[in-house]
Chains A and B, each alone.
Chain A
Amino acid sequence: ETTLTQSPAFLSAAPGDRVNISCRADQDLDDDLNWYQRKPGEAAIFIIQDASTLVPGISPRFSGSGYGTDFTLTINNIQSEDAAYYFCLQHDNFPWTFGQGTKVEI
């Protein structure tokens, strides 16, 4: 089972900041890592697939990078509506596993 270490657990940013969230795996995932956003009381939204592909309809302020074991979610020019819980998921091998999540406050 793949362990994903996501950091930071919490971050506070000002509108307009650029923020990075890291997800590190304990084994090679190629690019089989996704990112999701979840706001309180709402369904999670799929934002980045396969490490770096922006899901259609998602703001281009979001981007993903990385390959193998180190991955990053970047939010450029962060806005108040980006306040949410973000988590990574690996789909390289079964069972699917997740990072511990990052709560982003604006």
Chain B
Amino acid sequence: VQLVESGGGLVKPGRSLRLSCTASGFSFPDDALSWFRQAPGKGLEWVGFIRSTPAGGETEFGASVRGRFTISRDDSKNIAYLQMDSLNTDDSAVYYCTRVFRGGWYPDYWGQGTLVTVSS
């Protein structure tokens, strides 16, 4: 199993950014994916998840990003996306993509992360 995040970078406050999570080594449509983030010097924070396609592909988000972030998936490409709008400086963090283990409903495999810096 491998998860590779991409798309991070420097973005100005109020702008948007889309992160990608490219997956391999498992049956992508059948698993939920989740995004987490870790700001410098802080602990990890759950951002949101997208359920598997058989489960309807529904999404849920943490309170700090709800209404600004969306998650989608392209099962034909084995990619999950995190669309981040109306970014602010508090969104600066390393963003991680994970697979959600079906047997326990928690992250098992992680990506190496991609850095997002929101600054003017």
- Distance, CA A29 to CA B110, complexed state (A): 23
Given contacts A87-B44, A97-B46, A99-B43, contact A43 B108 (CB under 8 A): no
B109 at the A/B interface (Cβ < 8 Å)? yes
- Tell me the bound Cα distance from A65 to B93 in angstroms: 31
How many chain A residues touch B (CB < 8 A): the figure is 21
User: In the bound complex, how far is the Cα of B107 from the Cα of A91, in angstroms?
Assistant: 9
> How many contacts A-B (CB < 8 Å)?
43
Q: Does residue B81 face the partner (Cβ distance < 8 Å to A)?
A: no
List 8 A-B pairs, minimum CB-CB distance, nearest first: A91-B106, A44-B110, A98-B44, A100-B43, A43-B110, A43-B112, A95-B46, A96-B46
Q: List 19 A-B contacts (CB under 8 A).
A: A34-B106, A41-B112, A42-B112, A43-B112, A44-B110, A46-B107, A46-B108, A50-B104, A89-B106, A89-B107, A91-B104, A91-B105, A95-B46, A95-B62, A96-B46, A97-B46, A100-B42, A101-B43, A101-B44
